[in-house]
Structure 1
Amino acid sequence: MTLEQSDGVVTLLIRHRVRPGEDEAYEDWLRRIVRTAHGYPGHLGIDVIRSRDGDLHLFTCVLRFASAGQLQDWMGSDDRKRLVEEVSPLLATGDEQELNPTREFWFTPTTAGSRKPPRWKQACVTFLVILPLSLLVPRLWQPAFEALPWLGGYLPSNALITLTIVLLVVYLFMPRVTRWLAHWLDAP
């Protein structure tokens, strides 16, 4: 895998299909590699999506680094090489990697060869996640705006409401909703 030099956030998808009966050992390994990656410069987090591919457990790791160079440092590190060698007997297939420069990972297919859902389905899911938040979040902030009038001004209040919605969508709701609706999103 080669990475173009970029100053922006880089998202890498890594898929592992785990041999039957090796799930517990894989989960132990996964905790160790996540902990190790966390210590590398530029590491922004890992989301793990657990699903099935036929009879096998499929683990899709969404790995984010602050830059392509920092991701490349992690990918080429002795720590990662050692951990990947250690896990390879547990895997039914190899270490499948997909660089995602667009950072659109919510709607990335969980299995290789699958296609991305149509944009209209992506728009529907995004709308259904953001609409309730756009109605609820301003009400939740209202007591703070009343207690601190400077915070309730046009710019500060809109900045806080928008930031709250974005963080809730990105880190809490969208990953769960797309997993929950995966069958509908994957249907033709």
Structure 2
Amino acid sequence: MSSTAIDLNSVVTLVIYHKVRREALAQYEAWLRRAVKAAQHWPGHLGVNVIRPGGDEALFTTLVRFAEAAQLQAWIESAERAELIAEALPMLEGGDHPLVHDDPEFWFTPLRGGARQPPKWKQAVLTFLVISPLSMLVPRLWAPVFERFPALGGLVPSNLLITLCIVVPVVFLIMPWVTRLCADWLRPV
């Protein structure tokens, strides 16, 4: 484990939308595995999530997180990524669409230009529905540890651990997936 602490406020996410030609789906999946593996070797890489298509449209959404903007920029401008994208372009309809997000509100950023942000009440309801179950489950999961190690069960350490175990999965895993799943409901009327 690295001794360098990650400042969660400086984490940046590259969101890539690829609409894949139906006849190239298997080839694209193989390419995607290689591209993910290549990104993992770059300094500052924190992880990748791939949201595969759920309907008729073969739209892949890939979230690539880096610890700092400069590290992400180095990956974006690398010859290795340029070669990978050049290889992928014949498999895609409409090309490569990378977007860099350095703020937490990107969960609710519309996929297509010109679309409006969802109403705040819908954002609040969705966030509440994601965080509420975790806020009930995570403390129960930690309870045996707090009983065994009373120093961790104190007010400050226990709250820090519980909050960390809720915030990290919500930011990096759950909300990107849930907002994609609820995209139709989130659309402004």
How far is the alpha carbon of 1:159 from its aligned partner?
1.3
TM-score (norm 2): 0.84
Unaligned runs of 5+ in 1: 1-6
Identity of aligned residues (%): 55
Which structure 2 residues correspond to residues 134-173 of structure 1 after superposition, within 5 A? Answer: 134-173=135-174
CA distance in 2, matches of 1:129, 1:118: 17
| TM-aligned CA distance change 1:92 to 1:107, over 3 Å | same
Secondary structure at the residue paired with 1:129? helix
Q: Does 1:61 align with 2:57?
A: no
How far is the alpha carbon of 1:179 from its aligned partner?
2.9
TM-score (norm 1): 0.85
What letter corresponds to residue 138 of structure 1 in structure 2?
P
How far is the alpha carbon of 1:52 from its aligned partner?
6.1
How far is the alpha carbon of 1:177 from its aligned partner?
2.4
Which structure 2 residues correspond to residues 67-78 of structure 1 after superposition, within 5 A? Answer: 67-78=68-79
CA distance in 2, matches of 1:28, 1:45: 18
RMSD: 2.1
Which structure 2 residues correspond to residues 123-134 of structure 1 after superposition, within 5 A? Answer: 123-134=124-135
How far is the alpha carbon of 1:12 from its aligned partner?
2.0
Which structure 2 residues correspond to residues 1-188 of structure 1 after superposition, within 5 A? Answer: 8-51=10-53, 55-186=56-187, 188=189
CA distance in 2, matches of 1:27, 1:73: 24
What letter corresponds to residue 134 of structure 1 in structure 2?
S
Unaligned runs of 5+ in 2: 1-8
